[in-house]
Structure 1
Amino acid sequence: MVDDKIEGGKKSASGMQMTALESVAGFHVRKAVLRAQSTFATAAGKKLMAGQYSVMAIINENPGHTQSAIAEAAGLDRSSLVPILNNFEKEGLILRAPVKGDKRAYAVRLTKKGERELAMLEEKVREIEAKVIAGLGAEDHRRLIELLKRYHDIL
């Protein structure tokens, strides 16, 4: 039985007590990330793996870099990146080539198909960011990004 007499606590939109989480930045960051991923997947019209756009953008701006460098730049561990790259390769979005002098390393670049896919995803990202900027204002949007970078650096 639910006790409706709890007072002084914060309730979520679903009516759940959220007092303990209200001041936990990580909780709100996680919820924001989940909402952003869902919004992006819906806008793109397909099921996307977490970080797919980011990984493609990093590869596009840094062709020929290793999987390890890409993982570090994306904030992923290699074991999380490999399934993304395997999927990209299966879909013909990237090419991987062995790195001379290191039998375990592969250099990665987008294919023409990958470049087209990235351009489509970038259009969706711009649309979503425009919505966020409209809601927050340009200065708060800039400040949010700055704060998130600082949050990351602190942890």
Structure 2
Amino acid sequence: MKKRATETAGKDEQLAQTSLRQFVGYEMKLAYLLIHADMMRILKPTGLRIVTFSALGIVVENPDISQTQLAQALQIERSGVVVIVDELENADLISRNKVEGDRRSYALRATLKGRNLWSRTEKLVHDHEDGILSGLDRSERETLKSLLGRVIEDNRKS
């Protein structure tokens, strides 16, 4: 009896995925879940989470960025970025510096430790992507990235 229930459950799961996998959004969700789980595994030894990895990368690339600009780049509420900045600052990965003439604003800058961690972690993430996308050749990867970029840009709210 157990075998039948398992077989039926397997068929139901396959049927549900067959119905859903006709949608690009569902395929993107499945791909995202795979990428997200592997990214968490890759980042765990570094002490970074996906959001802190992203924030660190933005700060490294944009020295003296404000917390408001960082929130916009990460597409999160400004209040949410404070927690991320605190986490990175407490780990000595970024510094929060006062902005002359604006007592409410801070300029964020990666520390040497933050820049070094970024360099090491960037390599790990490239390796992660190489693994996840190993079934695609270079041209297909570039096409995938280009198409995703077009979807994002074409639907960005002004």
TM-score, scaled relative to structure 2: 0.77
| Count of aligned positions | 148
Richer in helix (by share):
2
Match status 1:150 vs 2:146: no
- Once superposed, what is the RMSD of the aligned Cα atoms? 2.7
Structure 2, unpaired ranges of 5+: none
Counting aligned pairs with the same residue, the percent is: 28
TM-score, scaled relative to structure 1: 0.79
Instruction: Quote the Cα distance in structure 2 between the aligned partners of 1:99 and 1:28.
Output: 44
Q: Structure 1's 77 and 142: CA in aligned 2 closer, same or farther, altered over 3 A?
A: farther
Structure 1, unpaired ranges of 5+: none
Q: Structure 1's 111 and 10: CA in aligned 2 closer, same or farther, altered over 3 A?
A: same
Runs of 4+ in 1 over 6 A off after TM superposition: none
Q: 1:18-57 residue pairs with structure 2 within 5 A? A: 18-46=17-45, 48-57=48-57
Offset at 1:148? 1.4
Aligned residue type for 2:23: V
Instruction: Quote the Cα distance in structure 2 between the aligned partners of 1:19 and 1:80.
Output: 37
The aligned counterpart of 1:90 is 90
Q: Could you give the per-residue CA deviations for residues 18-72 of structure 1, whole angstroms, max 9, x where no partner exists?
A: 2442233333333323322221221234364332222111111110111121222
Instruction: Quote the Cα distance in structure 1 between the aligned partners of 2:18 and 2:33.
Output: 21
SS at match of 1:76: coil
